[in-house]
Chain A
Amino acid sequence: TQLLEQSPQFLSIQEGENLTVYCNSSSVFSSLQWYRQEPGEGPVLLVTVVTGGEVKKLKRLTFQFGDARKDSSLHITAAQPGDTGLYLCAEGNTNAGKSTFGDGTTLTVKP
């Protein structure tokens, strides 16, 4: 089973600041998903990246997939309190579509 490492574990910033969180593995990802989980709710899918070097944007969120497909980053521009939550990366494998999740980055954006 592939081990996903997410960093930092915790991040607390002021509204309006930019931030980047990371997801790394020693093995090549087949595809990578990013999820956001708000307190008291289930994770919600944000994006899937598949191709090495791929960049996807979702409003103020920019997702990058490393050229070697062993790392990914999520950059948030001008963070808002509504961005507060747990950000999880996950990698799927071919066995019954199971996914392995990282432990997540807990982001707090203070007004």
Chain B
Amino acid sequence: DAGITQSPRHKVTETGTPVTLRCHQTENHRYMYWYRQDPGHGLRLIHYSYGVKDTDKGEVSDGYSVSRSKTEDFLLTLESATSSQTSVYFCAIKTGQSYEQYFGPGTRLTVT
């Protein structure tokens, strides 16, 4: 258990509304990642962070922004949610020098 929590676990929102998902870790790991998972697409990287206030884009970053003001929290924001952003969102952390990642339980987001 890498001490990763995500909130909320489920959310339904309307098109055009802003949404923020939170990832919280308890072990002060440097690297944190946000993925989305959709049928037929596996896990796709949205944004990642390599330290406080240090973030960068992944392969599917359009429509998303992130912030990391504290080591333990990594926030994902959908500025104006669209139906194409209906998905399951996973946060992950990387420990040490390996490429092994540890995932949170996920947030299921539905945009109507």
Contact = CB atoms under 8 A, between A and B. Distances in A.
Interface of A: 1, 30-31, 33, 40-45, 48, 88, 90-93, 96-99, 101-104
Contacts of A93: 99
Contacts of B101: 33, 43, 45, 90, 99
A88 B59 contact: no
Interface residues of B, number: 25
Interface string B64-102: 000000000000000000000000001010100011111
A101 B99 CA distance: 12
User: Chain A at the B interface: mostly helix, strand, loop or mixed?
Assistant: loop
Given A31-B99, A48-B100, A98 B45 contact: yes
13 contacts: A31-B98, A40-B106, A42-B92, A43-B43, A43-B103, A96-B48, A97-B50, A97-B94, A98-B33, A98-B48, A98-B58, A101-B43, A103-B40
Given A42-B106, A88-B42, A99 B99 contact: yes
A103 B105 contact: no
